[in-house]
């Protein structure tokens, strides 16, 4: 069963860790939100 993580900071911490992230889901229209820029940047690495 997959683990689910909610919230900007927990997701960002997970991306900084060595855990593998398979998928990130964003609310519709939130991709351009400034608060999510760091998450998207880390996810692209």
In tens, the pLDDT along 10-43 reads 999 999 998 888 898 887 877 677 878 888 888 8
Residue 25: what pLDDT? 85
Residue 11, token pair as written in the block: 């997701």
What range defines the domain where residue 12 resides? 8-44
Structural domains in the chain (count): 1
Q: In terms of pTM, does the model score above 0.85?
A: no
User: In Å, what is the CA distance from 18 to each residue of 24, 27, 28, 39, 42?
Assistant: 16, 25, 28, 15, 12
Is residue 3 assigned to a domain?
Answer: no
Is residue 32 assigned to a domain?
Answer: yes
Residue 1: what pLDDT? 67
Is residue 1 assigned to a domain?
Answer: no
Is residue 18 assigned to a domain?
Answer: yes
Is residue 27 assigned to a domain?
Answer: yes
């Amino acid at each position: 069963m997959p683990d689910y993580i909610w919230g900007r900071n927990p997701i960002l911490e997970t991306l900084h860790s060595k855990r593998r992230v398979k998928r990130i889901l964003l609310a519709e229209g939130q991709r351009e939100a400034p608060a999510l820029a760091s998450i998207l940047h880390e996810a692209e690495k």
